[in-house]
Amino acid sequence: MSNDLLGLFLSHNFYEKNRHLIAMDFFENEAKKIWRSIELGHARYGRDLTPAEVEQVLFSEFRTMTSSQKQAMMMLTRTLSNDIGEDVAEDVLRDQFKVYFGRQLADLGIKMMDNKVNDLTKVNELLGKYEQNFMPKETIQEIKHDVASLLHSTKDVSKYKWNLKGLREICAGIGPSTFSAVFALVETGKTAFLISTLFGPDGFLNQGAKVMILGNEEPVERTALRAVSSFTGMTDKEIANDTITAHNQWDVYSSQCVFLNTDEVSSMEELDQLLAKHKPDVLGIDQLDKMQVGGNHARDDIRLGEIYRTARTLSKKHQCAIIGVSQANAEADGRTVLRFTQMAGARVGKAAEADLIIGIGKETEEGGSDNGLRHIYVSKNKLGGKHGTCTTVIKPEVSRYVD
């Protein structure tokens, strides 16, 4: 790839629109380092970059370069330009990517002929991963912007209402194509919040949503039993003593539920296929940070940012409300109000992708006792604009949060 094309990626807008068309194989050895520095620069700062800034990021990341190597890199970074029009550049990139994709597909075909690949899963993954990259421009449709259509689309954003009154006053709910992140410290009740939201009284299940949970925080069978408990209000012991009552209550809605284990669905690419198969209205991932995503990532915060970006993309592609659960970092210890900057492994990559971010804090009592109070703080809200805190009570024996 020429420096003229590479220089266009200094624009944050051009980078966001076209980074999916870039493969590392496009670059020679030294240009790979420049591209990696451009990626890091956009991930860190989220704005347009200058050649000098790319140079500083590069020297910070690749500290073992000799003086002569640094001099050579300076010559390359300082010749980055954007003289080519963006429309021409996008066409050239798309053509280059088609060649790259064709080689990947051909290599996969050879492996199938040699019995190194024995099913079509890899082919489907490849096609699913890149099908949007070849979308002809003439298929892009303008949105309907009459007042009735705009009001309807805004209403869909909060189609499924939160079953906590305090939270509902801050953000009415979530809907198709929304991506929410929920985080807290260990032993706070993250999974209980997700279960209560989906399966508790007046939860999304009761509202008619088809719900799917992807679990790796605990055995998914345990998550499913907790869902029954939250739905029925019966403890594990009560369910064991009166299985028929629990079954009769749960069975009415059980066909609306899908429970999956991330040991079998570990990657975002596999999740894409399962969303197409099951078509849930709401998906909860517990925990999202443990999912795998394709590509090479210089640091873990960049990998996490890509996982969250992919979750956002899948929510739009499948018209599904996705809720990702994750951990808070050590700064959240002892705090009741948790901001998105206190998400584990976060710089800005995770927070930038979510429409809604909810932190769950709890008070530290003397002797380590738990008073059952949970403080839910909305620190990012693109679904209504309001921010704030509501206090709730957790009932862990039935996996419910109550006002």
- What residue ranges do the domains of the chain occupy? 1-138, 152-402
- Separation of alpha carbons 251 and 276, rounded Å: 25
pLDDT of residue 135: 44
Nearest C-alpha neighbor of 158 from the set 401, 356, 359: 356
Supply the DSSP symbol for 120. Answer: S
> 152-402 adopts what CATH topology?
Rossmann fold (3.40.50)
pLDDT of residue 151: 62
Give the DSSP letter string of 40-60: HHHHHH-S---HHHHHHHHHH
pLDDT per residue, tens digit, the chain (403 aa), is 555 567 778 888 888 887 777 766 666 667 788 888 888 888 888 898 888 888 888 888 888 888 888 887 888 777 776 666 677 667 767 676 677 677 778 888 888 888 877 766 677 666 665 555 544 444 445 667 677 666 666 667 889 999 999 999 999 999 999 999 999 999 999 999 999 999 999 999 999 999 999 998 788 999 999 999 999 999 999 999 999 999 999 999 999 999 998 777 878 988 998 999 999 999 999 989 999 888 778 888 889 999 999 999 999 999 999 999 999 999 998 899 999 999 998 667 789 999 999 999 998 777 778 899 999 999 999 998 799 999 999 999 999 999 9
Sort residue 177 into left (φ over 0), alpha (ψ -120 to 50) or beta. left
Token pair for 104: 């990947």
pLDDT of residue 139: 46
Residues near 95 by beta carbon (within 8 Å), at least 6 away in sequence: none
